[in-house]
Amino acid sequence: MSQGRENTKGQDKDVVIRVRGLVNGFGGQLLHDHLDLDVYRGEVLGVVGGSGTGKSVLLRSIIGLNKIMSGTIEVFGKDTSTLNDHQMREIEMRWGILFQEGALFSSQTIAENIQVPLREYLKMPQELMNEIASMKISMVGLAEDAASKHPSELSGGMKKRAGLARALALDPEIVFLDEPTAGLDPISANMFDELVKDLQKSLNLTVFMVTHDLDTLRATTDRIAVLVDRKIKVGTIDELRRDPHPWIQQYFSGPRGRAAA
């Protein structure tokens, strides 16, 4: 298990996200105090922490939606703070994002929602966009007729799948998932976990996933990053279970942790 700066041991070429010295804070409250984190190509990294530790803030900082106080964030070897708009768009085309609740546009059909990033970043005929939307709908396990439905006509689990289809629209290398199973019943959550793992393997995706769901962590992740005391600790579940930090012990070895095991 690593604390602070990670020792990549010559694996730098496999690091797709590198965070160094990240400082975040709001209203005089420090959330992240010089965080270091490496995310490796092809892994599923889970991010956990107590309320107010800045899990989603970390995700939003990496994708550029949160202005950091200091530190550097590199994606695909490029410091995102030094990129111009065109260069940043090229980076953004290589990742997909599933926000909480799916963040679908209510006035658009599912097919139109999936086509949003295609319209934003590419120029292609409508017919081709329709074909891509249909393919992504099938890829995430939705019925073909979901294409013409609006988000209000879908269940919570189906909305998550539709959001994931949109995240996959540009065939990304990295997928960011923010609480992907929140609000789902256990069966739907388990099915979504299986879908994420299957897609990660078949598409060779790197997955950065913020979650509080212990079952999801056990079912999908290769490593877990824990935000505690404004710092970060990274390891496998077995490694983290041996960490003496009280919050980590309670999370992984408390009643719910034992039940999930």
Q: What is the pLDDT of residues 82-119, one digit of tens each?
A: 999 999 999 999 999 998 876 899 999 999 999 999 99
What DSSP element (H or E) covers 250? helix 246-253
Name the burial class of residue 25, with classes exposed (0-12), middle (13-18) and buried (19+) by CB atoms within 10 angstroms of its CB.
middle
> Which one-letter amino acid corresponds to residue 25?
G
- The count of structural domains within the chain is 2
Of 5-14, 46-55, 108-117, 231-240, the one with minimum mean pLDDT is 5-14
Q: For 189-199, write each residue's pLDDT tens digit.
A: 999 999 999 99
Q: Domain for residue 8, yes or no?
A: no
Mean pLDDT for all residues in the chain: 91
Q: Domain for residue 70, yes or no?
A: yes
How far apart are alpha carbons 252 and 258 in whole angstroms? Answer: 7
In contact, 178 and 59? CB cutoff 8 Å: yes
Q: What pLDDT is attached to residue 6?
A: 45
Range of the domain at 256: 14-94+172-260
Q: Domain for residue 3, yes or no?
A: no
Q: What pLDDT is attached to residue 253?
A: 85
User: Do residues 146 and 127 both lie within one domain?
Assistant: yes
User: Do residues 180 and 256 both lie within one domain?
Assistant: yes
User: Do residues 181 and 227 both lie within one domain?
Assistant: yes
User: Do residues 139 and 76 both lie within one domain?
Assistant: no
Pick the last residue of a domain from 118, 135, 159. Answer: 159
* Stated pTM of the model: 0.91
- What whole-number percentage of the chain has pLDDT above 90? 86
User: Do residues 177 and 89 both lie within one domain?
Assistant: yes
User: Do residues 217 and 116 both lie within one domain?
Assistant: no
Q: For 138-151, write each residue's pLDDT tens digit.
A: 999 999 999 999 99
User: Do residues 75 and 182 both lie within one domain?
Assistant: yes
**What's the token pair of residue 182?**
């929140």
User: Do residues 193 and 87 both lie within one domain?
Assistant: yes
Half-sphere exposure of 238 (CA within 13 A, CB side): 1
Q: Which residue has the tokens 């913020």?
A: 210
pLDDT of 171 over the 90 cut: yes
User: Do residues 67 and 181 both lie within one domain?
Assistant: yes
In contact, 220 and 55? CB cutoff 8 Å: no
Q: What pLDDT is attached to residue 256?
A: 57
Sheet (strand 29-40) strand order: 29-40, 15-26, 70-75, 78-79
Q: Domain for residue 165, yes or no?
A: no
Return the CATH number at 229.
3.40.50.300
pLDDT of 43 over the 80 cut: yes
Q: Domain for residue 254, yes or no?
A: yes
- The number of beta carbons lying within 10 Å of the beta carbon of residue 140 is 22
